[in-house]
Amino acid sequence: MTPIDALLSRVSMPKVTEPGLTELELMSLLKAGLRACDHGRLRPYRFILLEGEARGRLGDAMSEYLHGDLVDVSEAAIEAAKNKALRAPTLLSVIFSPKDNDKIPESEQLVSAGCAAQMIVTAAHLMGLGAMWRTGNAAYSGEVSTVLGLEDHEQVVAMIYLGRPAVAMPSPPEQDPNEFLTRL
Ligand SMILES: Cc1cc2nc3c(=O)[nH]c(=O)nc-3n(C[C@H](O)[C@H](O)[C@H](O)COP(=O)(O)O)c2cc1C
């Protein structure tokens, strides 16, 4: 497969299984994230790894958010929220951590953080790993921020669920690029 064909075959893999990432795989993904386009090379992001029991603490925080902030939430939904973080052996969180800068607005820095997350899921796919970028309201909650140890100016950009693909990789949907193109 040519590099461009490999890139175009990228899909999210919601079902992943053990084993989690090796140290080598993790470092490759972080290096890929750090190669994202980034105005001024500010690196306005950082990464947090959650494995083993740390995923349980994240799940508890997501369920506490549901319990505290939403009315009429069922016990089943709370239990499901607890288990959500256990859907992958490795969770890699991409955190937006904006830098003070006169020339580069925060909006551009947020884009850079998103690009880093996209580079990571893309690299994971190219390495034969399963990866899925998830967020949801709970990811932006105070409960989750506390578990992750975020500072006030920081926010979650991505919770990337990583592992070995548990099912065959699907083919991405066909898209006609011309539908998205304006020629001037
Ligand atoms: C900022 C962001 C947040 C996302 N959050 C979720 C999420 O919480 N749950 C989900 O199922 N997909 C989420 N997605 C989308 C998936 O990661 C995925 O891109 C989508 O299901 C389309 O599949 P594909 O990547 O194979 O085209 C998110 C994507 C982005 C960019």
Q: How confident is the model at residue 69 (pLDDT cuts 50, 70, 90)?
A: low
Q: What is the pLDDT of residue 77?
A: 78
Averaged over 100-104, what is the pLDDT?
Answer: 97
Distance of CA 53 from the midpoint of ligand 1 (Å): 25
pLDDT surpassing 80 at residue 132: yes
Nearest CA to ligand 1 atom 13: 134
Averaged over 3-32, what is the pLDDT?
Answer: 98
- Show the domains of the chain with their CATH numbers: 14-50+89-166 (3.40.109.10)
What's the 3-state SS for the chain?
A: CCHHHHHHCCCCCCCEECCCCCHHHHHHHHHHHHCCCCHHHCCCEEEEEEECHHHHHHHHHHHHHHHHHCCCCCHHHHHHHHHHHHHCCEEEEEEECCCCCCCCCHHHHHHHHHHHHHHHHHHHHHCCCEEEEECCHHHHCHHHHHHHCCCCCCEEEEEEEEEEECCCCCCCCCCCHHHHCCCC
Q: What is the pLDDT of residue 68?
A: 78
Ligand 1 site, residue 123, Cβ cutoff 6 A: no
Counting ligand 1 atoms within 8 A of each CB, the residue from 132, 159, 161, 169 with the most, and so the one to mutate, is: 132
Averaged over 77-104, what is the pLDDT?
Answer: 93
Averaged over 113-123, what is the pLDDT?
Answer: 98
Q: How confident is the model at residue 80 (pLDDT cuts 50, 70, 90)?
A: confident
Backbone angles phi, psi at 46, to 5 degrees: -145, 170
Q: What is the pLDDT of residue 103?
A: 97
Least confident of 43-47, 68-72, 139-143: 68-72
Ligand 1 site, residue 132, Cβ cutoff 6 A: yes
User: Which percentage of the chain shows pLDDT scores above 70?
Assistant: 98
Nearest to 138 by CA among 76, 81, 72, 55: 81
Residues 6+ apart with CB under 8 A from 114: 157, 158
Averaged over 142-169, what is the pLDDT?
Answer: 98
pTM (2 decimals)?
A: 0.95
Q: What is the pLDDT of residue 70?
A: 61
Contact 64, 126 (CB under 8 A): no
Strand 45-51 to strand 16-17: parallel, antiparallel, or no bridges (unpaired)? unpaired
Q: Token pair of 13, please?
A: 């893999």
Please write the tens of the pLDDT for every residue from 20-35: 999 999 999 999 999 9
Q: What is the pLDDT of residue 153?
A: 98
